[in-house]
Structure 1
Amino acid sequence: SLFGFHLMSIDLRQHAAKHAEVVAELFTHAGLETFETLSEAAKQRVLLRELSTQRPLYSPYIQYTPHTMRELAIFQTAANIKNNYGETAINQCIISNAETVSDILVVALLLKETGLLSISNEKPTSRINIVPLFETIDALHNCISIMDKLFNLPWYRAFLRSRDNLQEIMLGYSDSNKDGGYVTSQWSLYLAESRLVQLFGQHHIRLRLFHGRGGSVGRGGGPSFDAIMAQPAGSVAGQIRITEQGEVITAKYADPTNAERNLEALIAATLEATVLPMHNSEPDSELMNALSASAFTHYRQLITFPGFIDYFLQTSPIQEIASLNIGSRPASRKTLAKIQDLRAIPWVFSWTQNRLMLPAWYGFGSAVAELIEQDSTNLQRLQQQVKNSPFFQTMLSNMDQVMAKADLTIAEAYVDLASDQQAARTIYTMLSEEFERSRQALLNILQRQHYLSDNRTLARSLALRIPYLNALNWLQIHLLQQLRQQPDNSEILQLIHLTINGIAQGLRNTG
C-alpha cells in the first residue's frame, strides 16, 4: 500500500546530445530534414510539427544504429514498466546538460515515439514529466529565457496541463562548480532559483526544484537543514527533491536512529521554509554579483593556466580513482585530458584526496581582496551579510568546514609526483597563495581567529581523526611514487585503493 509493486519510483536520465542523436537518425530515415544542421529556431519548428501529429517516425522495419535502438529501448521499457507495475513506477525523464528549448522538445518527441506521450486533436497527453537539468554557469544564466520560451508555446502549455500543471527543474551543483568555481556556482544557483520562482508565478505554473547535490561542499553538500533554509523565498513550496549520494547515504541512513533524525531534519526544514517563507533576508545582489564575477575570473584563470590539467592529473590520484568500482559512471565522459570532460565526482574527490579541497574555496580570497581594495567598507558589508543572509552564512559555514580539513604541507608533498617540477611548483605557488588569501578572507568576514570556532563538535572530531588521515596521506604519496615506477603492479594499486577509501571515510563528505 505504501510503495506499489515497484517498491521505489526511479528516474530516467540521459545527456541531451544523446537524445538529439536519436532524433537526428529518426529524421534521416524518415526522409526529413538533416536535424543536426538546423538552427535552434528551425529545430523547434520541425519538432513542434512532428509533435502535432500522432504519426510515428520510428519504423520496426528499419535498421537503426545500436545507440538509437538502445535509447529507444529504454523508453519502451519504461512504458512497459508503467503498464505492468503502475504509473508511479517512473515519473521523471531528466535531461542532462539541457541548454536549449529544442533539448526539451526532443525528449517529448522520443516519448511520443515510444508510447509515453499521445496526441489527440494536436493536444499532447504525457505519462511522464520532462525535467531539464541546468548544470553549467551559462545554462543557469540562460534557464529563465529557455523556460519562458517553453511556457509561451501553446503545445507545451497543453503538455503541462496533462502533468497537473507541474514543471520540475533540476539544478546541477557539481558541474556548475567545476565550470565556474564555488562562489559563482553557489550564487548562480541562488539567482536561478529566485528568477524561476518569479517566472513560474507569472505563468501560473507549479514549480518543483530538484537539487542535484553531492556529499562534498564543492558538489552542494553540507548540513541539509541549513541548505533548505537558505533557499530563496518561495522556492520550497511544500516540496523539494534532493539527491543523497555516495558515502552520505551510509552516514545518514545506515543506522535507523540516524536515519530518523536526518529525515526529521529534512521534513522540518521543508515545513519551516514553506510556512514561514519570509524568514530570511535576501542577499545583497550588488555585492554578491561583484564577488561572484571576480571569483569566476580568478577561477577560470587557474583552470585555463598552461599545464594545469597535467598538474591535476599528476599530483592527485585521479588515475587510480578512475579504476575504482565506486560509481555508476566512468571518471570522464570522453578523456581525462580535458577538465570539461571530467565528471564532477572524481574532480572533487581527487582534490579531497591530496588535501587541497580546491573546489570549495579557490577564487574566494582574491575576490574579497579586490572588493575591499575597491572600497574598504565592503568588508563591513560582507560581515553584515553573514549575520543577515542565510544564503551567505551557509556558503561560508560550508567553506569553513572544508578548509579546516585541508593540509598544505601534505598537498605540497603531492607536487613531487609531477614530471615537470618547475611547472608544477609554479602552479602550486598559485594555489597556496590563493589558499592563504581565502583563509584570511574567510576568518575576517566571520570575525574569528580559527576555523570551526562555532562548531566545537566537528573541531573535536577532526582533532581525533586528522593524525590517522595524515598518516594515510603520507602512505598514499609513497605508494603513488612506487606505482609511477611500476605502473603494472596490481598489488600497489590495491594498496592505493585502500588509502583512498580510508582518507574518504575519515574526511567524510568527500564525494
Structure 2
Amino acid sequence: MANNITNTGADKDAPLKEDIRLLGRLLGDVLREQEGEEVFAVVETIRQTAVRFRREADAQAGEDLAELLHKLTREQTITVVRAFSYFSHLANIAEDQHHIRRRRAHLLAGSKPQKGSVGFALAKLKGAGVGAGTVATFFNDALIVPVLTAHPTEVQRKSILDAEHEIARLLAERDLPLTPKERVANLHLLHARVATLWQTRMLRYSKLTVADEIDNALSYYRITFLRELPGLYDDIEDEIAAHYPGSTPAAGGAPYVQMGSWIGGDRDGNPNVNAGTVAHALVRQATTILDFYLDEVHALGAELSISTLLVEASDALLTLAEASPDHSPHRADEPYRRALIGIYARLAATARALGAANILRKEVGQAAPYLGAADFGADLAILAGSLRLNHGALLVKPRLATLMRAVDIFGFHLASLDMRQSSDVHERVLGELFANAAAEPHYAQLAEADKVALLLAELSQPRMLHSPHALYSDETNSELAILRAARDIRRRYGARAIRNYIISHTETVSDLLEVLLLQKETGMLRAGGLELMVIPLFETIPDLQRAAAIMDEWMALPLVASLVARQGMQQEVMLGYSDSNKDGGFLTSNWELYKSEIDLVGVFARAGVKLRLFHGRGGTVGRGGGPSYEAILAQPPGTVNGQIRLTEQGEIIASKFSNAEIGRRNLELLVAATLEASLTPHGDDGAAAPALARFEAVMAELSDRAYRAYRGLVYDTPGFTDYFFSATPIAEIAELNLGSRPASRKSTRRIEDLRAIPWGFSWGQCRLLLPGWFGFGSAVGGWIEDGGRRDEKIAALREMHAQWPFFATLLSNMDMVLAKTDLAIASRYADLVADALLRDRIFARIEAEHAATLRCLALITGAHERLAGNPLLARSIQNRFAYLDPLNHLQVELIERHRTLSRQGKADERVHRGIHLSINGVAAGLRNSG
C-alpha cells in the first residue's frame, strides 16, 4: 500500500518512520547476505548496547560496549563502521524524501504558502503595502549568489552520490499508486541499489586533488542547479503574477540568482592551487554547461518538427535556418530543425574552442563558434520569437524558455570563480617586485602611511615593476601567473567567469591597494577600469572591529572612488564567520559580525555606495551556519538590500543540493529571505529603536563576558592544546586524505594556526560541538547574578528573545547544537587524553559550562527540552542517535588502536580506513552540525 502523503496530525511522520524501517531492513538483509548472520548479530548487539548506554545512562552498558568493540577484529570493525555509516546516509535520504512529501501534501491541500517560500514573502510584502513596481525593481537589481567552496572534511564520492540519488528516486516512486507487481519490482530494485551501495567503496583513499574537488562540485550542477535554478525563475514569475495581477515580471531580465565557486581559485593556505588549476576549473565548468546546452538543443531539434507547409516562420528564423550546415531535402520545410542543427554545430565548435575534449554527438557540418553566450541566447530568442508570432507560443515554455533562462544564468562559464589569497603573500610578492625594480628595498618594513603613499604613486605611473629579464621567487612567479590566467580567462569565457578577488586577513588599506597594483602588473587595471573587484575579508575579532574604518579610508581615496563608480557604485565586503568564532567564541563572533555590519552600513551610506556583503558562513552553527533563511532575516536593517553572497561548504553542499527538489527549495529559501529582508518596511519586523538600543547594550556586556570565558579556556588554559589534540580526532583528520588543503596554515600544533573548519569539524566529531555554545552560560549567568536586579535582567533577556530576530536566531541555532551535543559520548573521547589530571580539569570546566548554558537557555526561552519549537527536527535527531552513537564509540576505539600503533612505530591501513569511514558516518548523522 502506498504511503499516504496527505496524512495529518500525529500520523504525518508515519511515512518517514516507514521509509527508515524499510531502508534499515534492506540494509540488514544486505548485511546478512554479504557478510553473514554472525556479523549482522554483532551489529545488532552493538546497536542495542549503545541504546541502553544512552537511554539508561547505564555504566554497565558502557563497559559492555567498550568490551564488545575492543573484541572486534579489524575486518569486523570496518564492516560495523560501514553498516552504521550507511544507515546514516539512508536515513538522510528518507528524511529528504519526507520533506518533499510534506511539501507536496501542503500544495495538494491548497494550504497557504509556507514560511520560507517566495509566495509567503510576496504575500507578506503586499500586506505591508509594498507595490508591484518595488518588487519588479528588486528582481531587476538583485544579486543572490550561493558560492560553493571545497572543504577539508568533504569526503563524498560521486559514485556514492549517484547510488544514493537512485535510492531516493525509488523511494519517491513508492508514494505513487503502484500495482502489486510494480511494488514488488520497486522493492527488488531498492534492495539491489542498497546492495550496490554496500559493494561500492564509500571513500577516496588517495590524496584528494583540486581537480577532484572541482569534479565533485560539478556533480551538483548536473543533479540540481542546471534545471532547478531556471525552473525556480519560472515559479517566481508565476508567484509575482498571482500576487500582483497585471504586473510585468522581469522576464529575460538580469539573472538575480547566479552561482559562484572558490574551487580552483582559492589558494589561501592551499599550495595546490595555481594558474593551472584556475584554467582547469574553467575548462571543466564550461564543458559541463556546454554539454547541457548541446543536449537541450539536440532535444529541441527532435521536438520542434514544425513544417512551413502548415505554419509560417519569421524571416529571422528562416535566415538562421539558411545559415545551417544542414541541407537535407528531408528537412527543407522544417526551418526550426535546420536552425537548431546550425546552432548545435556552433555550440560544438564553441565547446571545442573552450577546452571540451569530447562532444558526444557529432555535428552535421562545420560552423563558426559563438563569440559569447549572448550570441547563443540571441539565436534562441529568434526561435522563440518566431514561435510566438506563428501560433507556437505553447511550444516555447516546455524547454526553449528554460534553456534561454539557463543561458542568462550560466553563460559559457557556469559559475563565477573567485580568486582568494592571503594579504601577507601579496606583501611578499610586491616586496620582491619593488626591490628588484630598485623602487623600495624594504617594502614590508614601511609604516602603513608610507605603504599607501608608495602604492598610490606606483598605481598612477604607466611603468611596470615586473621585468621579463629579472629572476623572481617561485611564489612571485606563481602569483603573477595566476592573475595572468584570470585575465586570459575573462577574455575567453566572458567577464562573469572571474570577477572577484578576495583578500584574506585584511588588516589595512594597503592590503587592498596591493591587489590593485598586482592587477596593474598583469594588465588587469587599465584606464578603462578595474577587471576584478577587490574584496576585503575581515575574519578575526580585531579585523571585524577595524572593518568600517578601513572601508571608510578605502572609499575616500580618489582612485578607489573612480573604480567604485565604474563598478556601478557597488563594493563588496566579505565577513568571516568561522575564523571569528575560533578567535572569540560563538557569542562574541555573532555580536562582532552584527556590529561590523551596522558600522559598514553607515560608512557606505555616507559614501553613497551600495554595500554587498559576502557571508563566509560555514555549514555548522559554530562556523556561522544554521538555517540560511533565519540567518538572512536576522541581518541588521540595511545590510541586505537585494545583494548577498554566501558560501556553501563541503558536506553541507551534499545535504542541501544532492536532491533536486530539496535543492530547489533551498535556492528558493535564499531568494525569499533576501526579498523579505530587503523590502519589509522597517518596524514591521524586529524591535523598535529605543528597545534595540537597550538590547544592544545588554548584548555588548554578554559578549565581553563570553569572550573572556572562551579565550580563558581555549587560549589561556595551560595544556588545552594537548587536550584538544588528544580528545578529538583532529590529528587523524589532518593526516587523512580529506581534502586538497592542509588542516593547518603552518606546520605547528598551535590553535592559532589551525584552519577554522577542521577546528569546528573536530568538535562535532566528538559530539561536544564546543564552538557552537561555549561561553554562553558564563556570560548570561554572570551578568544575571552580578550587581543585583536579577529578575529585571531575566525579563530583559526574555524580551530580547521575543522581539529581536538577531538574538532569537542566535538562541535557536545554539538550541540545535545543544540537541546534538552529548557529554556522555564526549567523555569517551576525553578518555583518550593520557594525562588524567589535565583530562579531568578541562573536561570538568566544559561540563560546568555546558550545564550553565542549558540552565540559562531554559531561563530565557522557557523550554527545558531541546528544540521544543521544532519537534520534527527534535524527533529526527533522536531517531539518529541509535545509529550515530555506535559510530562515535567505534571511532574512539579505532583512534585508540591507531595511536597505540603509532607509538610503536607501526601503521595499519585498515584502522586508518575505519577512522575515515567513521568520520564520514558521524558527519552524515549530524548533518548541519558536523
Bin for the TM-score computed over the shorter chain: over 0.9
| Residue in 2 that maps onto 1:438 | 853
| Residue in 2 that maps onto 1:389 | 804
Structure 1 residue matching 2:625: 3-state secondary structure: coil
Match of 1:471 among 880, 886, 889: 886
Match of 2:426 among 12, 19, 23: 19
Structure 1 residue 420 displacement after superposition: 1.4
Residue type of the alignment partner of 1:442? L
Structure 1 residue 9 displacement after superposition: 1.2
Structure 1 residue 328 displacement after superposition: 4.0
Match of 1:199 among 603, 606, 615: 603
Match of 1:93 among 490, 501, 516: 501
Identify the range of structure 1 (315-324 vs 498-507) with the bigger mean alpha-carbon deviation.
315-324
| Residue in 1 that maps onto 2:452 | 44
State yes or no: 1:356 paired with 2:768: yes
State yes or no: 1:285 paired with 2:696: yes
Structure 2 residue matching 1:58: 3-state secondary structure: coil
| Residue in 1 that maps onto 2:675 | 271
| Residue in 2 that maps onto 1:185 | 589
Q: Aligned partners of 1:433, 1:169: CA distance in 2, in Å? A: 38
State yes or no: 1:495 paired with 2:914: yes
* Paired residues for 1:87-486 under 5 Å: 87-118=495-526, 120=527, 125-278=529-682, 279-281=685-687, 282=692, 284-303=695-714, 304-374=716-786, 375-376=789-790, 377-486=792-901
Residue type of the alignment partner of 1:413? R
1:247-293 residue CA offsets vs partner (Å, 9 max, x unmatched):
11111111111111111111111111111152222471110000000
Identify the range of structure 1 (434-443 vs 170-179) with the bigger mean alpha-carbon deviation.
434-443
1:360-390 residue CA offsets vs partner (Å, 9 max, x unmatched):
1111101101110123121111111010000
Change (3 A) 1:328 1:273: farther
Structure 1 residue matching 2:421: 3-state secondary structure: strand
Q: Aligned partners of 2:929, 2:755: CA distance in 1, in Å? A: 14
Structure 1 residue matching 2:579: 3-state secondary structure: helix
State yes or no: 1:28 paired with 2:435: yes
1:437-492 residue CA offsets vs partner (Å, 9 max, x unmatched):
11111111111121111110011111110111111111111111111111222211
Work out whether residues 817 and 929 of structure 2, in 8 Å CA contact, stay in contact via their aligned partners in 1: no
Q: Aligned partners of 1:169, 1:327: CA distance in 2, in Å? A: 27
Q: Normalised by the size of structure 2, how large is the TM-score? A: 0.54
| Residue in 1 that maps onto 2:473 | 65
Work out whether residues 233 and 277 of structure 1, in 8 Å CA contact, stay in contact via their aligned partners in 2: no
Structure 1 residue matching 2:611: 3-state secondary structure: strand
Work out whether residues 769 and 929 of structure 2, in 8 Å CA contact, stay in contact via their aligned partners in 1: no
Residue type of the alignment partner of 1:473? N
Residue type of the alignment partner of 1:187? W
Structure 2 residue matching 1:150: 3-state secondary structure: helix
Structure 1 residue 10 displacement after superposition: 0.7
Q: Aligned partners of 2:482, 2:698: CA distance in 1, in Å? A: 47
Structure 2 residue matching 1:508: 3-state secondary structure: helix
Work out whether residues 443 and 451 of structure 1, in 8 Å CA contact, stay in contact via their aligned partners in 2: no
Structure 2 residue matching 1:169: 3-state secondary structure: strand
Residue type of the alignment partner of 2:413? H
1:75-117 residue CA offsets vs partner (Å, 9 max, x unmatched):
0000000111111110100001111111000111001101111
Structure 1 residue 336 displacement after superposition: 4.4
Match of 1:81 among 489, 492, 508: 489
By relative contact order (CA 8 Å, sep 6+), the higher-ranking structure is: 2
Residue type of the alignment partner of 2:571? Q
Structure 1 residue 419 displacement after superposition: 2.3
Work out whether residues 128 and 163 of structure 1, in 8 Å CA contact, stay in contact via their aligned partners in 2: no
Higher Rg: 2
Alignment RMSD (CA, Å): 1.2
Residue type of the alignment partner of 2:890? L
Q: Aligned partners of 1:442, 1:402: CA distance in 2, in Å? A: 12
1:167-224 residue CA offsets vs partner (Å, 9 max, x unmatched):
1000000000000000000000011111111110011011100000111001111111
Work out whether residues 538 and 574 of structure 2, in 8 Å CA contact, stay in contact via their aligned partners in 1: yes
1:402-443 residue CA offsets vs partner (Å, 9 max, x unmatched):
011111111111122112121121111111111111111111
Q: Aligned partners of 2:634, 2:601: CA distance in 1, in Å? A: 15
Q: Aligned partners of 2:927, 2:735: CA distance in 1, in Å? A: 21
Match of 1:10 among 396, 417, 421: 417
1:6-50 residue CA offsets vs partner (Å, 9 max, x unmatched):
222110000111111111100110112210110111111101110
Structure 1 residue 154 displacement after superposition: 1.1
Change (3 A) 1:196 1:112: same
Q: Aligned partners of 2:759, 2:681: CA distance in 1, in Å? A: 35
Residue type of the alignment partner of 2:856? A
Q: Aligned partners of 1:379, 1:61: CA distance in 2, in Å? A: 70
Work out whether residues 280 and 388 of structure 1, in 8 Å CA contact, stay in contact via their aligned partners in 2: yes
Work out whether residues 604 and 611 of structure 2, in 8 Å CA contact, stay in contact via their aligned partners in 1: yes
Unaligned runs of 5+ residues in structure 2 are 1-406
Q: Aligned partners of 2:747, 2:779: CA distance in 1, in Å? A: 32
Residue type of the alignment partner of 1:298? A
Work out whether residues 415 and 421 of structure 1, in 8 Å CA contact, stay in contact via their aligned partners in 2: no
Structure 2 residue matching 1:404: 3-state secondary structure: helix
Q: Aligned partners of 1:157, 1:185: CA distance in 2, in Å? A: 31
Identify the range of structure 1 (419-428 vs 497-506) with the bigger mean alpha-carbon deviation.
419-428
State yes or no: 1:505 paired with 2:929: no
Q: Aligned partners of 1:91, 1:155: CA distance in 2, in Å? A: 19
Residue type of the alignment partner of 2:587? V
Q: Aligned partners of 1:163, 1:26: CA distance in 2, in Å? A: 28
Work out whether residues 12 and 92 of structure 1, in 8 Å CA contact, stay in contact via their aligned partners in 2: yes
Q: Normalised by the size of structure 1, how large is the TM-score? A: 0.97
Q: Aligned partners of 2:497, 2:927: CA distance in 1, in Å? A: 33
Structure 1 residue 506 displacement after superposition: 0.2
Q: Aligned partners of 1:100, 1:144: CA distance in 2, in Å? A: 11
Structure 2 residue matching 1:261: 3-state secondary structure: helix
Structure 1 residue matching 2:881: 3-state secondary structure: helix
Q: Aligned partners of 1:328, 1:223: CA distance in 2, in Å? A: 27
Identify the range of structure 1 (139-148 vs 154-163) with the bigger mean alpha-carbon deviation.
154-163
Residue type of the alignment partner of 1:239? Q
Structure 1 residue 157 displacement after superposition: 0.9
Unaligned runs of 5+ residues in structure 1 are none
Structure 2 residue matching 1:379: 3-state secondary structure: helix
Residue type of the alignment partner of 1:492? V
Work out whether residues 178 and 344 of structure 1, in 8 Å CA contact, stay in contact via their aligned partners in 2: yes
Work out whether residues 233 and 280 of structure 1, in 8 Å CA contact, stay in contact via their aligned partners in 2: no
Structure 1 residue 326 displacement after superposition: 3.0
Q: Aligned partners of 1:43, 1:274: CA distance in 2, in Å? A: 39
1:328-350 residue CA offsets vs partner (Å, 9 max, x unmatched):
42100003411110001110000
Work out whether residues 430 and 514 of structure 2, in 8 Å CA contact, stay in contact via their aligned partners in 1: yes
